[in-house]
Amino acid sequence: MPRYFTEEHEWIEVEDDSATVGITDYAQEQLGDIVFVELPVVGTALDKGGDAAVVESVKAASDVYAPITGEVTEGNGMLEDEPALVNTSAEEDGWFFRMSIADKSELEGLMDEAAYKEFVEGL
Amino acid sequence: MSAPETHDETLEELPPGKLPLDAWHRDHGARMVPFAGYEMPIQYTGEGGGIVAEHEWTRTSASLFDVSHMGQLSVAGPSEDYAEAAAQGAEALEALLPGLITSLKTGRMRYSMLLDENGGILDDLMVTNAGPRINLVVNGATKWDDIAHLREHLPDEINLHHYDDFALLALQGPKAGEVLEELIPGTGALTFMKADLFEWGTGHVWVSRAGYTGEDGFEIAVHEDAVASLADALVADERVRPAGLGARDSLRLEAGLPLYGHDITTATDPVSADLTFALSKKRREAGGYMGHEPVASVLEKGPEQIRVGLIVEGRMPAREGAEVFAGDTKVGTVTSGGFSPTLGYPIAMAYVDAAHTAEGTSLEIAVRKKRLSATVSPMPFVPHRYYRGS
């Protein structure tokens, strides 16, 4: 399953016509202890680059953007009780939401893992 | 993801300055951010690092905070007699502060505020009778304005000194007393809000039993040339770990202590800020200090809004700027808020219309598109554990 990354530190993993979205390990490290995640409700229409979720660390609230256009199909209910999952497993169990893919060509502008790694090293 | 906002307290365009412990912090894995005109550690990385871990360590053991950005000042009169010089300084200060300073005994401290002519709070500060002089510790972001204000309004013969070659360390937590007594014998005999001079290494340190976390602890004024060796000696004790500004902020919020520039500003007065305890009784009527009339008027009529504590239902934090509602009516604004690591739920401070400030009042806070339920709660949220003697 191909996984893509954004310059705003979201990851998106594609499986057929559906995608799973989260924030990267680099992002959770920068945020520090995460105390709350506000997820979009199922059915929310998301625009590429638009607000999708909010992640609250002890210190501040940060917006999470939709990597592509589509509709929310599922939120990660585990984060409600255990938002710290984003700290311990940002790129696996700490996923944020699943969404449909309106236009697969939008994925082409995103980075692959190697490109994202290089991008982060340059920060 | 958007970059988390950091609250830079300065409006200056100047690059941030470096504190004497700058390299020490970086060597200890600090993540540095600009704050109050300096690069300061917001948290440390690695084992024991992170805001929540540092917060919890402060509540259970002892943490070392660098608060050298704060302004360390002294005021004294021209007399060659030490006690008389301090008395002259105290009397002059009473024209600018609402607290009793002239009756402060040597080695005693008092929390006070600088007020402007409208009774607005220019800064909050600690005042200590240090023997030959009156010491002030003021906020970092406001220290230059404070110095200008003091110099403008204190009589010319009153000497104002800025100890800009001194660092300030805070050792805070339930084990701070035993740790510091082993390192600097005699400090353990100090009780809350008392201060004295002690020998350390080849020089001296000025130690105050005070702090801003709600825990027992000390603030230690030490010359910038000796601060790294003192910091090393403190963290060499396994009970002590360094902690950053992030933990300091969540600790002081739990302790119900206002943060200047957020919970108290020139737009707030001591009565509305629920800091009436700092208006010494004798001086409430007698006055004789800048801002007395407007403050006395608020005392008499009662404040329109009062700073209160709010406990927020659920897990979503309400932060500075969030509006507070009673039904459809806006009745206040959050001035600081966040998730309480000790309590496990969000807490906040807000200025709320006086009619809605009774303990237990149910209110709502607007956060993004949601309304969070909140209850007016007494502060501190987490009980203070100051050492007042055994």
Task: Write the CA distances from B53 to A39, A64, B60, B62, B385, integer angstroms.
Answer: 26, 25, 11, 12, 19
What is the distance between the alpha carbons of residues B322 and B370, in angstroms, rounded to a whole number? 11
Tokens encoding B69: 């950005």
- The per-residue pLDDT for B369 is 87
| pLDDT tens figures, B202-256 | 999 999 999 999 999 999 999 999 999 999 999 999 999 999 999 999 999 999 9
Q: What's the rounded mean pLDDT across residues B116-128?
A: 98
Q: What's the rounded mean pLDDT across residues B69-76?
A: 98
- The per-residue pLDDT for B46 is 87
Instruction: Work out the burial of residue A73: count CB atoms within 10 Å of its CB; fewer than 13 is exposed, 13-18 middle, 19 or more buried.
Output: middle
As beta bridge partners, residue B326 has B329
| Sole residue written with tokens 């035993």 | B178
Residue A114 — φ and ψ, nearest 5°? -65, -40
**Subunit contact B2:A8, Cβ cutoff 8 A:** yes
Please give the residue of chain B at the shortest CA–CA distance from A37: B316
Give the ranges where chain B is alpha helix by DSSP (H): 22-27, 51-60, 82-93, 143-153, 176-183, 227-236, 245-254, 281-286, 292-301
Q: What's the rounded mean pLDDT across residues B341-358?
A: 98
| pLDDT tens figures, A55-111 | 999 988 999 999 999 999 999 999 999 999 999 999 999 999 999 999 999 999 999
Residue B222: which residues within 8 A CB-CB, separation 6 or more?
B166, B167, B168, B169, B200, B203, B205, B206, B230
Report yes or no for ipTM above 0.90: no
Q: What's the rounded mean pLDDT across residues B110-124?
A: 98
* CB atoms inside a 10 Å sphere around CB A41: 8
User: pLDDT-derived band of residue B4, with 50, 70 and 90 as boundaries?
Assistant: low
Q: What is the DSSP letter of A107?
A: G
Please give the residue of chain B at the shortest CA–CA distance from A7: B1
Distance between A110 CA and the closest CA of chain B, angstroms: 14
In this complex, is the C-beta atom of B238 within 8 Å of any C-beta atom belonging to chain A?
Answer: no
Provide the 3-class DSSP secondary structure of residue A101. coil
**What's the 3-state SS for B315-344?**
CCCCCCCCEEEECCEEEEEEEEEEEECCCC
In chain A, the DSSP E strands lie at: 3-5, 10-15, 18-23, 34-38, 45-46, 51-57, 61-65, 70-75, 97-100
Q: What's the rounded mean pLDDT across residues B314-336?
A: 97
| Sole residue written with tokens 């739990």 | B254
Torsion angle, alpha carbons of B336, B60, B386, B351, to 10: 10
- The per-residue pLDDT for B5 is 55
Are B371 and B277 within 8 A, CB to CB? no
Tokens encoding B155: 């009589």
Residue from the list B2, B3, B52 with its beta carbon closest to the beta carbon of A58: B52
In this complex, is the C-beta atom of A30 within 8 Å of any C-beta atom belonging to chain B?
Answer: yes
Cβ-based contacts of A64 with chain B (< 8 Å): 1
Closest of B138, B4, B262 to residue A54, by C-alpha: B4
Interface test with A, best of B1, B42, B254, B334 (most A CBs within 10 A): B1
Closest of B330, B298, B309, B179 to residue B241, by C-alpha: B179
Question: What is the C-alpha end-to-end distance of chain B, expressed in Å?
Answer: 51
Which strand ranges, in their side-by-side order, compose the sheet holding A97-100? A3-5, A10-15, A18-23, A97-100, A70-75, A45-46
**Subunit contact A38:B368, Cβ cutoff 8 A:** yes
Distance between A49 CA and the closest CA of chain B, angstroms: 10
**Subunit contact B4:A54, Cβ cutoff 8 A:** no
Are B329 and B290 within 8 A, CB to CB? no
- The per-residue pLDDT for A44 is 97
Residue from the list B43, B249, B319 with its beta carbon closest to the beta carbon of A32: B43
Task: Write the CA distances from B158 to B85, B150, B161, B322, integer angstroms.
Answer: 9, 10, 10, 44
Residue from the list B4, B315, B346 with its beta carbon closest to the beta carbon of A57: B4
Residue from the list A36, A62, A83 with its beta carbon closest to the beta carbon of B2: A62
Q: How far is CA B178 from the centre of its chain?
A: 23
User: pLDDT-derived band of residue B6, with 50, 70 and 90 as boundaries?
Assistant: low
Residue from the list B4, B55, B249 with its beta carbon closest to the beta carbon of A31: B4
Tokens encoding A83: 């938002």
Mark B35-45 as b/e (b = at least 16 C-beta within 10 Å).
bbbbbbbbbbe
Tokens encoding B41: 């550690």
Q: Which amino acid is at B64?
A: L
Distance between B294 CA and the closest CA of chain A, angstroms: 36
DSSP secondary structure string, B42-95?
EEE-STT-SHHHHHHHHHHSEEEEE-TTSEEEEEE-S-SSHHHHHHHHHHHHTT
Are B194 and B206 within 8 A, CB to CB? no
- Please report the residues numbered 52 through 71 in chain A whose beta carbons come closer than 8 angstroms to any beta carbon of chain B: 54-65
Q: Is the pLDDT of residue B8 over 70?
A: no
What is the distance between the alpha carbons of residues A79 and A89, in angstroms, rounded to a whole number? 11
Are B363 and B331 within 8 A, CB to CB? yes
Q: Taking the model in full, what pTM does it have?
A: 0.94
Interface test with B, best of A28, A34, A35, A44 (most B CBs within 10 A): A35
Q: Is the pLDDT of residue B1 over 80?
A: no
Are B368 and B341 within 8 A, CB to CB? no
| pLDDT tens figures, B260-298 | 999 999 999 999 999 999 999 999 989 999 999 999 999
